[in-house]
A and B are shown apart, each in its own frame.
Chain A
Amino acid sequence: MAQIFAYIRHKDGVADDSALELVNAAKQIDSGAAATAVVTGSGAELEAVCSQVAASYAQVWKVDHAALAYPNAELVRKALLKLLPATGILLVAHDTFGMDLSPGLAVKMNLPFVSDVIAMDSLDGTALKLVRQEYGGMAHTHVTCDTAAGAVINTRAGAFAPDESKAAAGQVVDKSGAVGDLAATRAFLEVVAAEAGDVDITKSDVLVSIGRGIEDQENIELAEELAQAMGAVVSCSRPIVDAKWLEKARQVGTSGQTVKPKVYMALGISGSFQHLGGIKGNPFMIAVNKNPKAPIFQVADVGIVADILEFMPELTEKIAK
């Protein structure tokens, strides 16, 4: 039976959503295995997270160290190198921390590393078959690796459903002592918060979200007019912010804001996972896109193949009547 570990991310004493997703990821690899959660941090916040996570994992390894108060990938790696057995399979969420941690960790442990996994088969002996995407999500691939010596696997946010059962009643084990001294060649200074824009899109129930299909900065006016007619707020995907047409605070996505609206209009948005990763709570989604093959139509509730530059003014007019 495989020994599976899940690295738990947390903030302000609350575990990240990925913690519950990794439970199911572990079950997918080996339904009988009891995964062990590994949580690093310090103080009361760490305690809170460990208790929270104990409801979902059979075992929780707590690593309390002052140097780990802010998750520094280099130090976490050093800690894990001391803690993890040589043949374990480590699951990590593929977020900005997972990208920082996992590749180097896999090398140091001389293990196969598979990044940004969206699906897995169960173990076939020690062989593991996984699904990844390439070319910006336009192609899917099956990859395989031998986990006899272990593996490090990063899973994409939302790829695995969260396990809400909370039936584990796990033990919290203090492994802080095993870690020893931690010194780093990279020192955390501070987090610079994103500039708060004039509008907080996370507070709006209804979002009119625009993507590359808007084509021109001047067409954003049409979205503003529609939003106004609907009593909604305009948000956008990353390319709009990269082009500096809207401020960063308007971006919905994994590198932008996380929103939980009731209704989400995805206009001219292709539906990349980075964008969808910022939408939580399963809102009612209406997608409009010129391309009938756009991935957004897979996740939207209602889809329309049309030019948003025609759709927006028409809808605005109808609402006004």
Chain B
Amino acid sequence: MSVETLTQAQFHEHARQWETTTLKTEVLLACGAVVLSILGLAGILPNDLAAITVIALGVVLGCQGTNVVLRYTELLYEAGATPNPRAMEVGRGITAEFLGGLAGVVLGDLGAVTNCANDTDVSSRDHLWRDAPIDE
């Protein structure tokens, strides 16, 4: 098995491609979240759309964290700098973004599952009600 080593130029090209991908994903998901929340406010499946929007915004936060990591790594490399208080500040923000995004995705999933469970519960109750004998 051969191991290929990346040159700095290849690494930066790779990082730039990742940055473009995360930026496009971020914009698409944020647009989707805005549209879905407006649809929810208009009264179209508000609970389900809120859960989907929460998941989408969680992914957006994760993408933003990745994007900041890539950009800040590039800046640090260009400057040849050692860690400083400003780097610590941005690092804390990145951690908060990742944690917030992860928590949002998990909570959105839980909300969607709860909505589905409630819908299933209601529909099964309706089914039982429909099948029940009339004189009972």
Judge: A and B partners, yes or no: no
